[in-house]
Structure 1
Amino acid sequence: MPVPKLKAAPSLSPNLQALPLVREMLARPDQLRVEVYILDKVTVIDCGVQAPGGWEAGRLFAAICLGGLARVELHWMNFGGWQWPAVEVMTDHPVRACLASQYAGWAIKKEKFLAMGSGPGRAAARVEDLFQELDYEDCSGPAIVCLESNRLPSPEVAEYIVQKCKRSPADVYILVAPTASPAGSVQVAARAVETGLHKLKELGYDLGLIRSGWGICPVPPVAAGDLAAIGRTNDAVLYGSIVHYNVEDEDDNIASLVTRVPSRASRDYGQPFGELFRRYGDFYSIDPFLFSPAEVWVSNLKSGRTFHAGSVRPDILASSFGLAE
């Protein structure tokens, strides 16, 4: 499976590039409605567990999660006939920003604490096989870890993260947001470009041919609990997100690939994620190829041609989001 090797360029270090965004959070916690804690010199930023957080905190959370190598903006967008808030992500460093930073590939388990870890600190910890494939480690500066969790880390969890990241405690920053929170809704919806890249990787595509990625996804309303929120945030990506990639490849390769990328290529396509979870009883029984953007555009920089597949499903979004008629 072709995976590009990433150079350890300090100017492209996700941890260094994201640090100014972390400092922005630390400089205006009241405006962002976040709370800051120090656990044995480790800085923890609560973006929605006990603090209320908000959409702007979610936007910054997403930008930090992308290692400061992507532009993240909030907009209104028309999704098949109805207007809805959306988060837009653009990056000219798709593999480094999305897979080496944003991808939630680190299962952080310590005592009774369990959370999926994402963000640039993953490239410091390198506990995932992905970093052996990329032959990449970020040795620059701090380590910034983003957690999707409804619990704040204990001192023991913070110490575990410090040890894995091989940093001093004062150089480790941990951001936390539950799925069922305004910040959580934004940061999960900001994963459309990353979701498409991961699908392309699973299909065996050479990610080194991808030059840039641009995506937009509806920001789901906050659900009553984390399980319902997981359903809504997944539906936002699977049935509402649109991504565009610039690649340098042969037209025949793109034409044969593009129809396999959107979520509708999956056997489980067409039902809200919550219903699929109740049917199967766990995430791992759901077709892994379902986890894809709803609509995909691919422009070939070599030929000037553009290829397209998939479409948004406003009917499923309306049902999942609980829109009143």
Structure 2
Amino acid sequence: MTQDRRSSRLSLNERAAALVDRMIADAALLRVGVRIGTEGETLVDCGHRSRGSTEAGLRLARIATGGLAEVSMAASPEGSMGWDVLVRTSQPLLACLGCQYAGWHLKSPTGAVLMGSGPARLLARHEAILDGIAHHEVADRAVLLVEGDAPPDCAIAQSVAEACGIARDRLVLLHSPTGSLTGMTQVAARVVECAMQKLRLAEFPPDAIIEATGSAPIRPPHPDTRIAMGRANDAIIYGGQVHLVVEGSDDEAQRLATALPSSTSSDWGRSFAQVYEAAGGDFSGIDSGLFSPALVTVTAVESGETFSAGRKQPEWLTDH
């Protein structure tokens, strides 16, 4: 497709690395820490030992998409902090599924499992979700976001560098826990990514999405990972909204709008914390259709017809 030929000339890791360099230059302002690892890898602490910030979360979200999305904040009457993250991209397939999706599971020698996202995934190509993405990534730097309760260690840095085919001193690992200011902001910025993931359940071709805009409330940070994870997921499930512009027929656009909202899930109607507890802390026991925005609008680009389904439920955005 034309979009694939254009995107093949992009180096998303290089775009992300340029954003990382700006973050490092502003480290003190953003309250992030920067250090060099044992083999020269760059480690950017966005919320573990360093405090982090909302602005760091916005920048982290841009980096996660390989620089293919604009990420900002807008005032919102919903949610306890009064602000939404707003995400816009004209390359939703590459930005969200190619880069931002946290599909790389990294296990350290201590047994900690960390989630990796960002354009380094396109160099490693360990995940089946990347098989349908024709983009050929070429870069001499690799950028990966790592989310979890602990920072990445030397073993993870080594495994990521080897998988990406680069030297350790060309690797950047940015890390934050979910419950930090940075983490809660960058998770809310995954609202469009969640809709793009659910396209697979709806059997809709992701490369037919040509524009995507979404928003979700920023929830307060919390030191307990389970509480923070519940708040962050509820922000998207009950407070998130997306607008997709698609190629295809009106019937297909309407079918997509109907299929995507989180309310289509059998697990909808309870807080995510309750769903997670009922599943015994096992994500495989949760209906994957739950991880989607509350309100979805789809516009068929050829006809201009627009279809909406679902609704936001701000009453679920309480700080339990």
Residue 67 (str. 1) matches residue 80 (str. 2):
no
TM-score, structure 2 normalization:
0.94
Q: 2:175 corresponds to which residue?
A: 176
C-alpha distance in 2 between matches for 1:4 and 1:193: 22
Whole-Å Cα distance in 2 between the matches of residues 60 and 218 of structure 1?
17
Match for residue 185 of structure 1?
Answer: 184
After superposition, residues 215-230 of structure 1 pair within 5 angstroms as: 215-230=214-229
Task: Look up the match of 1:285.
Answer: 285
Query: Which runs of 5 or more structure 2 residues have no equivalent in the other structure?
Result: none
Q: CA RMSD in A?
A: 1.8
**How far apart are the structure 1 equivalents of 2:132 and 2:109?**
29
- Confirm or deny: 8 A CA contact 2:30 2:52 kept in the other structure: yes
Q: Which residue of 1 aligns with 2:13?
A: 15
Amino acid at match of 2:304: G
Q: For each residue in 1:49-100, what CA deviation from the matched residue of structure 2 results, as whole angstroms up to 9, or x when unmatched?
A: 00000101111110000110000001211339x8711111000000000000
Report the counterpart of residue 101 of structure 1 in structure 2.
Answer: 99
Instruction: Calculate percent identity across the aligned residue pairs.
Output: 37
- Secondary structure at the residue paired with 2:76? strand
Q: Tell me the secondary structure at the aligned position of residue 133 of structure 1.
A: coil
1:294 touches 1:311 (CA, 8 Å); kept in 2? yes
Kept in 1: contact 2:10–2:137 (CA 8 A): no
Match of 1:128 in 2: 127
Counterparts of 2:239 and 2:11 in 1: how far apart (Å)? 31
SS at match of 2:199: helix
Does the C-alpha gap of structure 1 residues 52 and 4 become closer, same or farther in structure 2, counting only changes over 3 Å? farther
Note if 1:296 corresponds to 2:300: no
Instruction: Give, in angstroms, the shift of residue 10 of structure 1.
Output: 5.9
Query: Contact between 2:74 and 2:84, CA under 8 Å: does it hold in 1?
Result: yes
- 2: distance between equivalents of 1:152 and 1:213? 32
Contact preservation (8 Å) 1:162, 1:172: yes
Distance 1:176 1:8 in 2: 31
**2:56 equivalent to 1:57:** yes
Aligned residues: 317
Distance in 1 separating the partners of 2:47 and 2:20: 16
1:116-157 Cα deviation digits (max 9, x unpaired): 100111101111112223244412231100011221122222
Kept after mapping to 2: 8 A contact 1:4/1:206: no
Amino acid at match of 1:221: P
Q: 1:41 offset after TM fit, Å?
A: 0.5
Superposition deviation, residue 253 in structure 1: 1.4
Number of the residue aligned with 2:270: 271
Task: Answer whether contact 1:6 1:96 (CA < 8 A) is retained.
Answer: no
Runs of 4+ in 1 over 3 A off after TM superposition: 3-11
Q: Work out the CA distance in 2 between the residues paired with 1:167 and 1:299.
A: 41
Aligned equivalent of 1:207: 206
Q: Distance in 2 between matches of 1:130 and 1:286?
A: 19
TM-superposed deviation, 1:7: 4.3
Q: Aligned partners of 2:260 and 2:300: how far apart in 1?
A: 16
- Taking the aligned partners of 1:167 and 1:230, their CA distance within structure 2 comes to 33
In structure 2, the residue corresponding to 1:104 is in which secondary structure? coil
| Structure 1, 124-133 or 176-185: larger mean CA deviation | 124-133
